[in-house]
Amino acid sequence: MIPRYKRVLLKLSGESLVGESNFGLDPNVLGHYAKEIKKLVDIGVEVALVIGGGNIYRGMNEAETGIERAQGDYMGMLATVINGMAIQSALEKEGVFTRLLSAIKMEQVAEPYIRRRAIRHLEKGRVVIFGAGTGNPYFTTDTAGSLRAIEIKADVILKGTRVDGIYTADPEKDPNATKYDAISFQDCISKNLRVMDMTAFTLCMENNLPIIVFDMNKPDNLLQVVCGAKVGTLVKDSVS
């Protein structure tokens, strides 16, 4: 198969790693993701990865927990490093070379994030996992994914979810919701379709970085997306 995109950033939610469990990490999900990513590596695609931390810790109401927002965000960043280490192990079990880069220094478990080093790892065929978000509170992992994708000059952001694209409404709640095959950034904003948080979405729009939202749980979906098949929903500058 011939890839349409040479360098991609795959964004996954931490909640997706829970699988059939109620909390933490499901080894079956990790194994599935690792196998799907390996298919890209095998055809020469350069893969970067950002994973959320919601399966371990989500920002909670400060009034309820007594934990201030900034402190809670740092806790969430550490959760993303745990998930990064987990997917790193799953990938290495599949024979894929990886590097985990953290925006917060923790040399014993991850390299510090350096843009040129990240690009060099990608050029050498290693899957680069970006941990600890942007290293700053008040920014989501969606924003971290958009920022890193722009920095490494990725061709596209692939947002793996549990639904097969963007719909007019939540397909899990509205049976009449219809799917978009392609939609513009402006239409997403005007229709209030929450593809990503607004900071992340604006970064992509301003840098003309396309986003593809697709079902990550279906086998071979990731490979088909990268090879140009009409899978999921493409968000781009304009839709003719």
CA distances from 110 to 85, 89, 113, 138, 180 (A): 9, 13, 9, 23, 39
Confidence of residue 130 (pLDDT cuts 50, 70, 90): very high
CA distances from 120 to 124, 126, 127, 150 (A): 6, 9, 11, 15
Structure tokens at 212: 């593809």
Q: Determine the CATH number of domain 7-236.
A: 3.40.1160.10
Confidence of residue 240 (pLDDT cuts 50, 70, 90): low
| Residue pLDDT, tens place only, 61-114 | 667 778 998 999 999 999 999 999 999 999 999 999 999 999 999 999 999 999
Residue 165 reports pLDDT greater than 70: yes
Question: Domains of the chain: which residue ranges?
Answer: 7-236
Please give the pLDDT value at position 22.
76
